[in-house]
Amino acid sequence: MLDILSDPAITGLVAVTTPEEMPVLETLELAEKVAKETTVRLSAVVVNRVLPELFGRSEEEIFELLRQPELTETLSVRAGGDVEPLMEGARLAVTMRRTRAAHLERLRQGLGTSVPIFYLPYLFTRFHGLRTTRQVAASLGEELGF
């Protein structure tokens, strides 16, 4: 994959999307139009804001058990505060990850194996500066094998 991106003789388009329904559909439409209407080829797709996997299969089973009201209450007492917002946030993140995984699968199937896809993590930050730029660069470097 790296040779495709670094060969100066190859001109191509790198599309950037997010793992959501409309951006993925628009990326697939773009890929189709580029292939049919131009001589430029799609060299890669970068998917930005990919949520991390919070739990493995066995961990998720434990998490679901801990969401039972009596256990959440016990956790809140032991933690010294209400853990319900934390539990709800984790549940929402798991749901979003699953939904977005389906969109990523649609993107993979729609592009086929000839177009590499690179993933950048969702950065949980309000401000974007040098630190954020370095995090994105490091993640992209890992995806490219640097």
Q: Would you kindly state where each structural domain of the chain is located, as residue ranges?
A: 2-144
**Count of Cβ atoms closer than 10 Å to residue 15 Cβ:** 22
CATH of domain 2-144: 3.40.50.300
Q: E-assigned strands of 3-113? A: 12-17, 41-50
Residue 6 has pLDDT above 70, yes or no: no
| Single-letter residue type at 39 | T
pLDDT in tens, 31-62: 999 999 998 999 999 999 998 888 887 888 89
pLDDT in tens, 108-135: 999 999 899 999 998 887 778 898 889 8
pLDDT in tens, 66-91: 899 999 999 999 999 999 999 999 88
Q: What is the mean pLDDT of the chain?
A: 88
Whole-number pLDDT of residue 2: 44
Residue 4 has pLDDT above 50, yes or no: no
Q: What is the mean pLDDT of residues 136-142?
A: 88
Whole-number pLDDT of residue 76: 94
Interatomic CA distance for residues 75 and 90, integer angstroms: 15
Interatomic CA distance for residues 11 and 25, integer angstroms: 24
